[in-house]
């Protein structure tokens, strides 16, 4: 490895149904972020089929890697380290990215660093907000995770809230499916809610007894599914578009309350006046608007990633990798993919 003024990290992300490779300079400047989404294949099955996902990653990863270097106008010799997601996610999918990273590391004599996917989502805000520095509160809302975290430094986190059952995006996708939307239904449900009328329905706000910052969506999900089934039963198995919109709106209101209240409370409790949302669900405008309004009322600065960095992408993994790299972290070749990799205080 040559001594370089700038630190270029190659990021690799393949934890679910996006194959992505990116080159990021000094943790914040994205030189390339190539993403191949498999959504069109998986929507035929109503969700991600793990076996198909790993096969598609294998077919795509080398092409995406080459395209990523090409777009960055760099060669592999310019790269200082490879950052790769090693969990959590689908094990077959993770293994494709991790094995590719290891092979590249050996053949190019470049160190590699295993990254927790959730820490990648947190780093997505460094890309979109150049002034954002820890400490801040991070609200991570995706298809697999819902966490409320104090980002103490670039490399240390304290977790205050987690979900006890479904993740926020998972709840969106499940309700969307029952309402008849294609996978992934989150964005379609958000769109339907725009035509909804307030107060046509009243859905519960899930509370976890004894842990004010934890989340629960299973009660809300069961309640809404019951309401939909009852309506369909009375109407020859059909449900009209206005009712779909009204249900979508109240479901989203319940989610918004759960996220906004906890985030503002934690920010006040810890006296940290910076809040950053991230993860696939942070593409949701209604959630961002509600959180921003409450942040403004409480003199809290609100940050969010551009949409392309909300859903899974390798740029966020490269950014997280940069901060691990300059902190001295390197992974060994025996690092394994970990489908259930925990996100813990560190």
Contact positions vs ligand KG4 (CB under 6 A): 16, 142-144, 169, 172-173, 184, 186-187, 190, 279-281, 283-284, 311-312
Closer to ligand KG4 at the Cβ: 78 or 312?
312
The label of the residue with tokens 């309350």 reads 257
CB 216 within 8 A of CB 206: yes
In eight-state DSSP terms, residue 90 is -
Query: Judged by CB, which is closer to ligand KG4: 104, or 186?
Result: 186
Instruction: Provide the mask over 151-190, with x wherever binding to Zn ion is found by CB under 5 A and - wherever it is not.
Output: ----------------------------------------
- Rounded to the nearest whole angstrom, what is the least distance from the CB of residue 44 to ligand KG4 in the complex? 17
Does 19 sit near Zn ion (CB under 5 A)?
no
Q: Return the range that interacts with Zn ion (CB under 5 A); candidates 26-34, 61-69, 138-146, 242-250.
A: 138-146
Closest to ligand KG4 by CB, 134 vs 144, is: 144
Kindly state whether residue 313 participates in binding Zn ion, applying the rule CB under 5 A. no
With respect to ligand KG4, which residue has the nearer C-beta, 188 or 274? 188
Closest CA to 342 of 142, 147, 208: 147
Whether a cis peptide bond, with omega within 30° of 0, leads into 122 is no
Of 107, 115, 118, 120, the C-alpha closest to 79 is 107
Pick between residue 40 and residue 334 the one whose CB is nearest to ligand KG4: 40
Q: How far is the CB of 180 from Zn ion (least distance, A)?
A: 25
Alpha-carbon distance 28 to 127, whole Å? 5
Nearer to ligand KG4, 212 or 257 (CB): 257
Q: Which residue is nearest to ligand KG4 (CB)?
A: 280
Closest approach of ligand KG4 to the CB of residue 168, in Å: 8
d(CA 104, CA 82): 8
How many residues form the binding site for Zn ion (CB under 5 A)? 2
Q: Which of 312, 318, 319, 322 touches Zn ion (CB under 5 A)?
A: 312
Q: Does 324 bind Zn ion (CB under 5 A)?
A: no
Least distance (Å) from Zn ion to the CB of residue 25?
23
Instruction: Considering the complex, state which of residue 143 and residue 161 has its C-beta at the smaller distance from ligand KG4.
Output: 143
Q: In what order do the strands lie in the sheet with 146-153?
A: 156-162, 146-153, 136-141, 274-278, 301-303
Own/partner contacts of 148-156, CB < 8 Å, gap of 24 or more, are 148/213, 148/215, 148/262, 148/263, 148/266, 149/122, 150/266, 150/270, 150/272, 151/122, 151/276, 154/323, 154/327, 155/323, 155/324, 155/327, 155/329, 155/346, 156/345, 156/346
- Interface ranges with Zn ion (CB under 5 A): 142, 312
């Amino acid at each position: 490895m040559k001594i370089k003024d700038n630190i270029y990290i190659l990021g690799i992300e393949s934890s679910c149904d996006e194959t992505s490779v990116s080159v990021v300079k000094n943790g914040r400047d994205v030189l390339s972020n190539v993403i191949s989404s498999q959504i069109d294949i998986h929507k035929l099955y109503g969700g991600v089929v793990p076996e198909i996902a790993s096969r598609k990653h294998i077919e795509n990863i080398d092409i995406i890697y080459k395209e990523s270097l090409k777009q960055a106008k760099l060669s592999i010799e310019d790269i200082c380290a490879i950052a790769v997601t090693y969990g959590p996610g689908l094990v077959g999918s993770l293994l494709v990215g991790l094995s590719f990273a290891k092979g590249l590391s050996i053949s190019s004599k470049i160190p590699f660093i295993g990254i927790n996917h959730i820490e990648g989502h947190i780093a997505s805000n460094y890309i979109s907000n150049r002034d954002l520095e820890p400490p801040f509160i991070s609200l991570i809302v995706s298809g697999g995770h819902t966490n409320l975290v104090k980002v103490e430094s670039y490399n240390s986190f304290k977790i205050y809230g987690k979900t006890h059952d479904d993740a926020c995006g998972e709840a969106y996708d499940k309700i969307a499916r029952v309402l008849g939307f294609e996978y992934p239904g989150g964005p379609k449900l958000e769109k339907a809610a725009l035509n909804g009328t307030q107060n046509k329905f009243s859905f519960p706000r899930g509370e976890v007894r004894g842990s004010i910052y934890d989340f629960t969506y299973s009660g809300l999900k069961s309640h809404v599914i019951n309401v939909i089934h009852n309506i369909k039963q009375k109407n020859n198995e059909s449900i009209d578009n206005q009712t779909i919109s009204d249900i979508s709106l109240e479901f989203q209101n319940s989610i918004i309350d759960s996220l906004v209240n906890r985030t503002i409370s934690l920010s006040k409790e810890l006296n940290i006046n910076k809040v950053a949302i991230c993860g696939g669900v942070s593409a949701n405008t209604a959630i961002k608007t509600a959180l921003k309004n409450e942040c403004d009322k409480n003199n809290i600065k609100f940050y969010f990633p551009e949409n392309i960095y909300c859903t899974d992408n390798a740029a966020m993994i490269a950014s997280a990798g940069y901060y691990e790299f300059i902190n001295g972290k390197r992974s060994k070749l025996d690092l394994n993919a970990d489908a259930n990799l925990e996100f813990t205080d560190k």
